[in-house]
Amino acid sequence: MSLKKVILKTKPEGVPSVETFEVVPDSLSSLDDGMVHVKIQYLSLDPYMRGKISGRHLTEAIHPGDDMDGEVVAEVLESRAPDFAPGDTVTGMLGWREEAVMPADALKNVVTHGLSPSLARGVLGMPGLTAYAGTVNLAELRPGMTAVVSSAAGPVGTTVGQIARAKGCRVVGIAGSDEKCAWLKEEAGFADTINYKTEDLRAGLDRACPDKIDYYFDNVGGDMLQAVMERLAVGAQVVLCGLMSQYNDGGMPPGPNPAFTIIARATIRGLVVYDHAASSADAVAMVAGMIKAGDFAVQEDITDGIENASTAFVRLMSGQTFGKTLVKMI
Amino acid sequence: MSLKKVILKTKPEGVPSVETFEVVPDSLSSLDDGMVHVKIQYLSLDPYMRGKISGRHLTEAIHPGDDMDGEVVAEVLESRAPDFAPGDTVTGMLGWREEAVMPADALKNVVTHGLSPSLARGVLGMPGLTAYAGTVNLAELRPGMTAVVSSAAGPVGTTVGQIARAKGCRVVGIAGSDEKCAWLKEEAGFADTINYKTEDLRAGLDRACPDKIDYYFDNVGGDMLQAVMERLAVGAQVVLCGLMSQYNDGGMPPGPNPAFTIIARATIRGLVVYDHAASSADAVAMVAGMIKAGDFAVQEDITDGIENASTAFVRLMSGQTFGKTLVKMI
């Protein structure tokens, strides 16, 4: 049985499709000194990849013909490096593939506190750290605040919302399906939700946030950010983390008028998760502790098999996934 | 010698002239309990008055025959109110007149640290507090930062720039005339300036800020804010204070794309000066201290005598004044 990987076939215009990618045979480098041979368990699919394949992400672009890049959770099979031993759970940017032989410095041991390794790329990984950075490092959340989060059913959004809830905020999630909204209220303890596909966003915000909005964690930008900025309470805190609304088009559309920031005396902060690496252990400990205490709901969207990775990515980019989107290598 | 005041004689068509106003005799109300008798030292002339005499300002219009309204600095002559004593320096909206008897609640005591009372309506008044709030309360300025301020030659801008300079920043001012730019560099210690009327704004920012922009105090909004946001350094701080660019039209044009905030991991804050009233004494003490140390340049445009107030106002409205425009009552 030959190993497989996924490459970028064409640079997509607009929303990517399964034809954007191609599954091709893969081969392993030799296990030289300092190298580690791993079997990938889970590939993480994330919206930032959309920017990388159109050359707009901060890190290096992916061009047609290149291997798809992406973060994985893997198990060490063989190791010729001192820091890794067979059976270790590791993470790294190993790409859309089934196995890899990598230099040890491309891998990082992860701690999952006895929980599923898949969580290492979700609420116990970068999404969890992103949420921690946006709620703990870059904001000051206090009991009684109205906290709104967009893309609320994603791993960042659910973690933001559940940390905010733990800090005593009244949490309102914006999501794109009734199923997600029901889960947020019933499982994740959100006080209210807005299904922006079936309810007018502004009417929903007025309904769910009668005392306006003290905290907003934005994954979307565009008109969603505009609608929230129109409803900020005095002293509001806004964390700008993602711009889902503009990842699929090349332009830089304008944003909200600065008057909304002035009127609310708001603080708006830009979040780039890489800046918060030093908080990783704290973020993992906080979220793992909440999971073990039964105070944190996790939703994962797991697709089996590398052949289905492109389908899963297209579902992610068109808002059809629910929870942390992963491909399980079987 | 009878007291004098200025009334609006005719509603001006186009640019006001000295014939728009008339100096007439004034008389004082009786000094009842709770009233204060003051001698006006300086009348502040401000562009918003133009709107009031043509009925376009939000506050009450001034009609032909009405007293001209305006903020003054005055000395208390007699007081029948507990909070004011003869010799106190006070400020209030007392109009274009030489003396007044006013209810105590129309007056506010001001501290000028032995400096000219005229400063109480400028760098030691609300403009100075605005600058203090934006540089001390809402930002953390450190040596070596590149600080940019728009409307740099106004009382807020000159104070922002000179506080930032005192904190070790390299200060770049944006202003609208070569005379103002020369003064900012030669008198106020700005490292560089951009005359946005004669130099392309983006080229000027690139020239004057080769290491990008760490701090921006914005009085303007619009394209000036956009151009600065495009050039933010990582970790930049932006204070949004005014929106000169949109005061003349009723709309809410869009602002910069949120990506600029994310890319720079910037912090954007909205400033409303009334929130910072508790810092008034600190702001006055800081600026007065810098003036006394010879480390703070102030530009005032002072005309002597109530008979010349209309001439000074016509000069202000035709862009011939430079610095805070005042009439000294002699």
Q: What is the pLDDT of residues A49-108, one digit of tens each?
A: 888 887 665 567 899 999 999 999 999 999 999 999 999 999 999 999 999 999 999 999
SS3 of A208, please? helix
pLDDT at A249: 61
Band (pLDDT 50/70/90 cuts) for residue A48 is confident
CATH superfamily of A126-275: NAD(P)-binding Rossmann-like Domain (3.40.50.720)
pLDDT at A55: 62
Q: Are B67 and B143 spatial neighbours (Cβ–Cβ below 8 Å)?
A: no
B271-277 average pLDDT score: 94
Residues of B in contact with A221 (CB under 8 A): 257-259
A-interface mutation test, from B257, B263, B271, B276, most A Cβ less than 10 A away = B257
Domain A3-119+300-328 has CATH 2.60.40.2380: no
- CATH 3.40.50.720 residue window(s) in chain A: 126-275
pLDDT at A322: 85
A-interface mutation test, from B240, B267, B275, most A Cβ less than 10 A away = B240
CB contact under 8 Å between B270 and A265, yes or no, is yes
Could you tell me what percentage of chain B is helix, strand and coil, using 3-state DSSP and rounding each to the nearest 5?
Answer: 30, 25, 40
| Nearest alpha carbon to residue B112 among B133, B88, B131 | B88
User: Does A210 have pLDDT greater than 70?
Assistant: yes
User: Does B128 have pLDDT greater than 80?
Assistant: yes
User: Does A1 have pLDDT greater than 60?
Assistant: no
A251-278 average pLDDT score: 93
Tens of pLDDT, residue by residue over B185-205, are 999 999 999 999 999 999 999
A-interface mutation test, from B226, B234, B262, B267, most A Cβ less than 10 A away = B262
- ipTM > 0.90 for the complex: no
A315-324 average pLDDT score: 86
Band (pLDDT 50/70/90 cuts) for residue B58 is low
Report the alpha-carbon distance of residue A56 to residue B263 in Å, rounded: 11
- What whole-number percentage of chain B has pLDDT above 70? 96
CB contact under 8 Å between B254 and A257, yes or no, is yes
User: Does A284 have pLDDT greater than 60?
Assistant: yes
B-interface mutation test, from A137, A239, A261, most B Cβ less than 10 A away = A261
If phi > 0 it is left, if psi is from -120 to 50 it is alpha, else beta; for residue A268 that is beta
User: Does B176 have pLDDT greater than 70?
Assistant: yes
A162-174 average pLDDT score: 98
**Worst-scoring range by mean pLDDT, A47-51, A141-145, B27-31, B216-220?**
A47-51
User: Does A250 have pLDDT greater than 70?
Assistant: no
Q: Between B228 and B243, whose confidence is greater?
A: B228
Residues of B in contact with A269 (CB under 8 A): 261, 265-268
CATH assignment of B4-122+300-328, among 3.90.180.10, 3.40.1350.10, 3.40.50.300, 3.40.50.720: 3.90.180.10
| DSSP line for B68-89 | PP-EEEEEEEEE-STT--TT-E
Report the alpha-carbon distance of residue A223 to residue A202 in Å, rounded: 10
Which among B257, B263, B272 is the nearest to A253, CB-wise?
Answer: B257
Alpha helices in chain A (DSSP H): 48-53, 126-132, 155-166, 178-186, 201-208, 222-229, 244-247, 259-263, 280-292, 309-317
SS3 of A5, please? strand
pLDDT at B249: 57
- What whole-number percentage of chain B has pLDDT above 90? 82
B41-64 average pLDDT score: 80
Residues of B in contact with A266 (CB under 8 A): 268-270
Residues of A with CB under 8 A from a CB of B: 58, 218, 221, 225, 240-241, 243, 246, 252-259, 261-272, 275
Q: Which residues pair with B6 in a beta bridge?
A: B23
A107-117 average pLDDT score: 92
Mean pLDDT of chain B: 93
CB contact under 8 Å between A225 and B258, yes or no, is yes
CB contact under 8 Å between B267 and A264, yes or no, is no
Q: Between B91 and B52, whose confidence is greater?
A: B91
Report in angstroms the alpha-carbon separations of A326 from A99, A175, A300, A310, B311: 16, 19, 7, 11, 75
Minimal Cα–Cα distance from B23 to chain A, Å?
40
Mean pLDDT of chain A: 93
pLDDT at B50: 80
- CATH 3.90.180.10 residue window(s) in chain B: 4-122+300-328
Q: What class does CATH assign to B126-277+284-291?
A: alpha beta
Q: Are A264 and A235 spatial neighbours (Cβ–Cβ below 8 Å)?
A: yes
Report the alpha-carbon distance of residue A177 to residue B98 in Å, rounded: 69
- CATH 3.40.50.720 residue window(s) in chain B: 126-277+284-291
Residues of B with CB under 8 A from a CB of A: 218, 221, 225, 240-241, 243, 246, 252-259, 261-272, 275
pLDDT at B5: 97
CB atoms within 10 A of CB A313: 30
- CATH 3.90.180.10 residue window(s) in chain A: 3-119+300-328
Report the alpha-carbon distance of residue B60 to residue B51 in Å, rounded: 10
> pTM value?
0.86
Which among A225, A241, A261 is the nearest to B270, CB-wise?
Answer: A261
pLDDT at A197: 96
Residues of A in contact with B263 (CB under 8 A): 58, 270, 272
